[in-house]
Structure 1
Amino acid sequence: MATKISEDIVDVWIAFKKDQSDQTLRNRLMERYLPLVRYNAERVWAKLPEGVDLNDLMSAGVFGLMDAIEAFDMERGVKFETYCVPRIRGAMLDELRTMDWVPRLVRSKASKLEAARKAAVAKTGRPPTDAELASEMGLGIGEFEKHKAEASAINLVSLNKKWYETDSYKDVREVDVLQDAKGEDPTDGIQKLDVMKIVTKGLNRNERLIIILYYYEELTMKEIGSTLGLSESRVSQMHSSIVNRLKEQLNGRRPEFS
């Protein structure tokens, strides 16, 4: 049976090389050698950090297989499996290079920093300080800080990486727990509003506006004066008076803030 399969594939090769525009023949060859793509993709993927998609490697490997099929010369006496594997793996490695945005210089700086860290740990038996790392690398502290900042660009995190597994159908991933540093906590706004109501209770219109515009809108005394039609000095006097009155009132209302 194995001999028949071998003879069949040879016939397909001969027919395809006579007419390489025949898509049906090419597809038969692709199907025959597709397991080589998966096998090599899994071997490459196993050595990579988490976050690289196996399917991306396989897709690149398929293009490598297509190129190998079109370029293969049967008359050279080389087995196609031997010929195509370097092309499949090469296509995968090219894909990895296009996925990697970190410049070579950054990687070099990161490698030097890591080598210095390992050397310092070997000497001291503990994690080194920045000063010790700078000394190990022969750099001034300023140069070291710059080197460290440039090398840190290599630290990437896949937002699709699994954070932890759950009992539900969907695992929690990095993107689900990523903190939005620019986002505002809605409770902060509610708390500020509550405090503002307590603080401005009992003040007249101008007094409330001075407190709100100065502490919440962050306007200057001059800008508040222009808004209220008052002089800057008058706003300052009123502000001082309000603050003194509020201090006296708040001392007796501490339970409301606890």
Structure 2
Amino acid sequence: MVTRVIEDIQAVWNAYKQDQSSKALRNRLMENYLPLVRYNAERVWSKLPDGVDINDLISAGVFGLMDAIEAFDMERGVKFETYCVPRIRGAMLDELRTMDWVPRLVRSKASKLESARKQAEAELGRPPADNEVAAKMGVPLDEYEKLKSEASAVNLVSLNKKWYETDSYKDVREIDIIEDTKGEDPTLSIQKRDLMKLVTKGLNRNERLIIILYYYEELTMKEIGSTLGLSESRVSQMHSSIVNRLKEQLGRRKPEFAQ
């Protein structure tokens, strides 16, 4: 059976080399050698850090296999498996280089900077200042600052990096777990609304507006006066009166908040 398969694939090779324009023959060869792509992709992927998708390596390896099939010379007497593996792995490594946008020189600088920082920290017994690390590296402080800025690029993370796998069709990525620092906490928003209701309960319209405009909208007394058609001194007087009343009310209700 194995001999028959080998004979069949050899026949495909012979036919393809006579007509390399035949996509059907080329695809038959690719299907036959596709396990080589996956095998080499898994070997390369096992040595890589988290965040690299094995499917990207397989895709690159398929193109490497395609190039190898087109360039293979059957007359040389070399087994195709021996010939194609370096091309497959080379295509995968080229893909990794395009994925890693941080130049090697930057990584080298970052490594030297971190090494100097660790040495300085070991000697000083505390985290070193920038000028101390610069002295350890033997470079001026402004040059060190430039080095530090360039090296910071190494620490950037892909937002498409896989965070963890789930049972669903979609894995959780880095972008899915980043905190939105500009977004308002809904719990805090509800608390602020409830507090505003508590504070403004029993106040007339102008008094409520003074509290809302001053503490929530952060307007000045003068701006509030212009809005309500009152003088700045009158707004200030009303504000002091409201605050004193609220202190008295909250003081009476203190036992409720202690429970």
Q: 1:150 to 1:220 in 2, by over 3 A?
A: farther
Aligned to 1:82: 82
CA distance in 2, matches of 1:184, 1:254: 29
Equivalent residue runs for 1:197-236 within 5 Å: 197-236=197-236
CA distance in 1, matches of 2:129, 2:152: 14
**How far does the alpha carbon of each residue in 1:145-200 deviate from its partner, in whole angstroms, 9 at most, with x for none?**
6644542332226542228x8xxx45984556443323322221121122222222
Q: 1:206 to 1:147 in 2, by over 3 A?
A: farther
Instruction: Provide structure 1 residue ranges, at least 5 long, that are not aligned to the other structure.
Output: none
Aligned to 2:11: 11
Q: 1:236 to 1:141 in 2, by over 3 A?
A: farther
Equivalent residue runs for 1:64-83 within 5 Å: 64-83=64-83
Q: 1:235 to 1:147 in 2, by over 3 A?
A: farther
CA distance in 2, matches of 1:149, 1:179: 24
User: Does the CA-based 8 Å contact 2:117-2:128 persist in structure 1?
Assistant: no
Equivalent residue runs for 1:155-174 within 5 Å: 155=155, 156=157, 159-162=161-164, 169=167, 173=172
Equivalent residue runs for 1:84-99 within 5 Å: 84-99=84-99
CA distance in 1, matches of 2:11, 2:126: 64
Q: 1:141 to 1:194 in 2, by over 3 A?
A: farther
CA distance in 1, matches of 2:64, 2:129: 46
Residue 60 of structure 1, CA deviation: 0.9
Q: 1:6 to 1:159 in 2, by over 3 A?
A: closer
Q: 1:125 to 1:234 in 2, by over 3 A?
A: closer
Q: 1:194 to 1:139 in 2, by over 3 A?
A: farther
Instruction: Provide structure 2 residue ranges, at least 5 long, that are not aligned to the other structure.
Output: none
Bigger mean CA deviation after superposition, 94-103 or 26-35:
94-103
Bigger mean CA deviation after superposition, 230-239 or 45-54:
230-239
What TM-score do you get using the length of structure 2 for normalisation?
A: 0.81
Equivalent residue runs for 1:34-73 within 5 Å: 34-73=34-73
Q: 1:213 to 1:130 in 2, by over 3 A?
A: same
**How far does the alpha carbon of each residue in 1:111-168 deviate from its partner, in whole angstroms, 9 at most, with x for none?**
22333245446x44977444554443345677656644542332226542228x8xxx
CA distance in 2, matches of 1:149, 1:252: 57
- Local SS of the residue matching 1:218: coil
Aligned to 2:23: 23
Q: 1:114 to 1:81 in 2, by over 3 A?
A: farther
Bigger mean CA deviation after superposition, 83-92 or 135-144:
135-144
Bigger mean CA deviation after superposition, 154-163 or 65-74:
154-163
Q: 1:174 to 1:18 in 2, by over 3 A?
A: closer
Residue 39 of structure 1, CA deviation: 1.6
CA distance in 2, matches of 1:120, 1:62: 48
- Local SS of the residue matching 1:161: strand
Partner amino acid for 1:90? Answer: G
CA distance in 2, matches of 1:25, 1:174: 40
Q: Percent identity?
A: 73
- Local SS of the residue matching 1:60: helix
Tell me the C-alpha RMSD between the 2 structures: 3.1
Q: 1:102 to 1:193 in 2, by over 3 A?
A: same
User: Does the CA-based 8 Å contact 2:120-2:128 persist in structure 1?
Assistant: no
Aligned positions, number: 253
CA distance in 1, matches of 2:129, 2:45: 35
User: Does the CA-based 8 Å contact 2:161-2:173 persist in structure 1?
Assistant: yes
What TM-score do you get using the length of structure 1 for normalisation?
A: 0.81
Q: 1:93 to 1:209 in 2, by over 3 A?
A: same
- Local SS of the residue matching 2:58: helix
Q: 1:229 to 1:101 in 2, by over 3 A?
A: farther
Partner amino acid for 1:82? Answer: T
Residue 213 of structure 1, CA deviation: 0.6
Aligned to 1:112: 112
Aligned to 2:188: 188
Q: 1:237 to 1:110 in 2, by over 3 A?
A: same
